Amino acid sequence: MNMQVPPPTSDREAPTHDDTREGGRSARRFVIGGLALVLVLGGYYYWSHSSNKAPRRAPPPAPVRVTSAVQRDMQVVEHTIGTVVANSMVSVTARVQGQLTKAYFKEGQMVKEGDLLFEIDPRPYQAIYDNAVATLASAKSTADRNQRLSLENAISAQQNETAQAAYLQAKANAEAARLNLEFTKIRSPVDGKTGPIMLQPGNLVSVNGLTAPLVTITQIQPIKVSFNLPQSDLPRIQARARQGGLNATVNLHDMGGQDLSAPVDFISNAVSNSAGTIELRATFPNKDGVLVPGQLVDVTVELANIPKAIVIPRVAVNIGPDTQYAYVVTPEHVVEQHNLKVLFDDGTNVAIQSDIEPGEMVITDGALRALPGGKVNVATARPRQAAPAAGGGQAPRGKRNAQSAAQ
């Protein structure tokens, strides 16, 4: 019997055709990826180095607006808020008690000094006065008789002195009764305007100090305006007051009236520690009664005058870390920085101490984009639009659009 034995096989198998193809693909992918990376790096290097070599464009000149510095006299004026203060305010109270019978005025009426305001029932005080007058007459008769008898030594000196003392006491009682009767008629102590009646007629008036005043009278002709100025203005205030020219002006434009001006007649003797201000007052005639106590008004005070001052707009002043300065534009449109010191600021213009000459152009708009030594583009003023034709007609729509585009 014949048996066939298969040939022996080795432990390592030969590579197939598919494995060979897969290895070639991996090698090609590696080569292609490396070439792509080289191209990317080379392009970035070229782009970055070529952009650095390209010339940079200079920034365009900054657009600014300018105005010229002028030389003129400038008034040092302070604007503040003032309070209208009554020249005097009197609370009218009763000096005797009794029933209030009548009021002789209307609330808010102007009264004169001595005008009758109220009346308290005078009958009890009239009776007391009449009794005091009778007692006085009897005491006087007794004193005169005893005086004659004393001269004749008909009575003792002590009896005469007792009669004379009784007469003086009766005289004092009669005067007190007369005054109480007079006090039943309450009169105005000052000229002024009355307020509301605090106690109406018919009520019992007490004099124990617990009842409210009958009425308050405010003197408003003349009237005062009180205002405060910073203590830094004190040297100017004192200098102007010594010259007799310190005036206060009250602005009444919002009330439809004309400005009122009066001399300052009071300067406080102390500066407020809390506010750092000093109080001033001016007295106004107030004949038309336009000023009312407690009213707030705008007050203007001229303190001094700076002759031949260099004046520029307030917006042209810039604040630096060490000083204030302004930008000046030369005729070649080059920016120069000039340091300055503000002498006075009225809120719109400032008087300065600087080397800026009259007529030089200072930047009022666009200073943030300007640099010293750099050039600027000075913007011209925008022309005004022509007024509409007579008759009130408007230009056609096409022409209006063309005008707007031209502006």
Confidence class of residue 58 from pLDDT cuts 50, 70 and 90?
Answer: low
Strand locations in 28-69 (E) = 62-68
Per-residue model confidence (pLDDT) at position 399: 38
- Binned at pLDDT 50, 70 and 90, residue 322 comes out as confident
User: For residue 240, what is the domain's CATH number?
Assistant: 2.40.30.170
- 351 φ, ψ (degrees, to nearest 5): -95, 130
Q: Which of 283, 306, 329 is the last residue of a domain?
A: 306
Residue 158: pLDDT over 60? yes
Q: Please tell me the pTM assigned to this model.
A: 0.62
Both 230 and 282 in one domain: the answer is yes
The answer to the question of residue 271 being in a domain is yes
**Alpha helix (H) residue ranges in 206-339:** 234-242
Q: Which residue has the tokens 């992918």?
A: 29
Q: Between residues 40 and 370, which one has the greater pLDDT?
A: 370
- Among 120-129, 160-169, 279-288, 374-383, where is mean pLDDT lowest? 374-383
What is the structure's pLDDT at 152? 84
Is pLDDT at 162 greater than 70 in this prediction? yes
Tell me the C-alpha to C-alpha distance, in Å, between residue 394 and each of 55, 79, 382, 384, 387. 53, 44, 21, 16, 10
Q: How many domains does the chain have?
A: 4
Q: Which of 198, 230, 247 is the last residue of a domain?
A: 198
Within this chain, do residues 317 and 297 fall inside the same structural domain, yes or no? no
Residue 229 and residue 172 share a domain: no
pLDDT of residue 99: 94
| Domain assignment of residue 113, given as a range | 94-119+187-198
321 and 292 inside one domain? no
Does residue 256 form part of some domain?
Answer: yes
Average pLDDT of every residue of the chain: 83
Same domain, 193 and 132: no
Query: Domain containing 149 — which CATH number?
Result: 1.10.287.470
Is residue 136's pLDDT more than 90? yes
Where does a domain end: 198, 232, 257? 198
Tell me phi and psi for residue 397, to 5 degrees: -60, -40
Indicate whether 169 and 144 sit together in one domain: yes
Quick check: is 40 in a domain?
no
Tell me, yes or no, whether 7 lies in a domain: no
**Out of 160-174, 251-265, 340-354, 358-372, least confident range:** 251-265
Q: 371: phi > 0 → left, psi -120 to 50 → alpha, else beta; which?
A: beta
Q: Is the residue at 128 inside a domain?
A: yes
When pLDDT is averaged across residues 79-96 and rounded to a whole number, the result is 93
Are 233 and 154 part of one and the same domain?
no
Q: What is the pLDDT of residue 48?
A: 63
